[in-house]
């Protein structure tokens, strides 16, 4: 199975600070159809995951534009430009290029 | 709007089975896929498998073959997951979700305990 390694595992930030989360894959996530099936989710405490980004860099419906995704191949990044209180929780990357879909270990964003 | 409503929390004994449901609305169920996921509290998420409601075709994570069985009832737009021969390692929150995680159910906690 594809292993996704997220760093850091814990991220302490102040409100308004810009932060980045890395997701590195054990294999290239570029599919033969030309798409890269890499997604980002936020899971707030006690809630279901919320999809933020799909196909590396596409913003999900209703997701604030302070979130952005980038990367290619095996290296991907989620950036939050100006953390807000509602952004606190655990962030996960997920790949669906290779079966089975797999998730990273998560990055917990907390207030400093 | 799209809704995925999962059944309530379950407390089951080791060795037993449990059937979880995910009732949907707001989209055409019969031509869609549904995935199921497992999350042990405090840990990451695992993909269990997926079912196509059109013909009941399924795909499973090898890890969950023999543990999970996915079915659908198109007449009620509901997806089901049977979990068999439960052990304490199956205690977790289980989610249904569709469209590559665009829509999620609220999750259901399954606790396996004697």
Convert the pLDDT of each residue in B33-44 to its tens digit: 999 999 999 999
* For chain B, percent of residues with pLDDT exceeding 90: 98
Q: Using an 8 Å CB-CB cutoff, list chain B residues near A42.
A: none
CB contact under 8 A, B106 and A48: yes
pLDDT at B33: 96
pLDDT at B99: 86
Q: Average the pLDDT over A54-72 and give the result.
A: 97
The pLDDT of A45-72, averaged and rounded, is: 97
CB distance from A100 to chain B under 8 Å?
Answer: yes
Nearest chain A alpha carbon to B6 = A48
Q: Which of A48, A96, A103 sits opposite B44 (nearest CB)?
A: A103
Does any CB of chain A come closer than 8 Å to the CB of residue B1? no
**Tens of pLDDT along B30-79?**
999 999 999 999 999 999 999 999 999 999 999 999 999 999 999 999 99
Pairing of strands B10-12, B108-112: parallel
Query: What residues have CB less than 8 Å from B41, skipping those under 6 apart?
Result: B92, B93
Q: Which of B45, B102, B104 has the CB atom closest to A103's CB atom?
A: B45
Looking only at the bridges linking them, the beta strands covering A107-111 and A10-13 are: parallel
Contacts of A102 in chain B (CB under 8 A): 47
Structure tokens at B82: 């049977």
Cβ within 8 Å, pair A96-B106: no
Candidates A7, A60, A103, A91; CA nearest to B38 is A103
């Amino acid at each position: 199975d594809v292993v996704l390694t997220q760093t850091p595992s814990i991220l302490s930030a102040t409100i308004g600070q810009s932060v980045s989360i890395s997701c590195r894959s054990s294999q290239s996530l570029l599919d033969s159809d030309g798409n890269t099936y890499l997604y980002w989710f936020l899971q707030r405490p006690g809630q279901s995951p919320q999809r933020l980004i799909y196909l590396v860099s596409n913003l999900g419906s209703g997701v604030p534009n302070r979130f952005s995704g980038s990367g290619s191949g095996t290296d991907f990044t989620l950036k939050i430009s100006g953390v807000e209180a509602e952004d606190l929780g655990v962030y996960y990357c997920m790949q669906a290029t290779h079966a089975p879909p797999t998730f990273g270990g998560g990055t917990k964003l907390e207030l400093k | 709007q799209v809704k995925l409503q999962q059944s309530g929390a379950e407390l089951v004994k080791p060795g037993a089975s449990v059937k979880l449901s995910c009732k949907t609305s707001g989209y055409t169920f019969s031509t869609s896929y549904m995935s199921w996921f497992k999350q042990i509290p405090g840990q990451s998420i695992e993909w269990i498998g997926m079912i196509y409601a059109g013909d009941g075709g399924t795909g499973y994570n090898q890890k969950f073959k023999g543990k999970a069985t996915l079915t659908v009832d198109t007449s009620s737009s509901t997806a089901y997951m049977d979990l068999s021969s439960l052990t304490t390692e199956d205690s977790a929150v289980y989610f249904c979700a569709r469209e590559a995680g665009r829509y999620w159910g609220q999750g259901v906690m399954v606790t396996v305990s004697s």
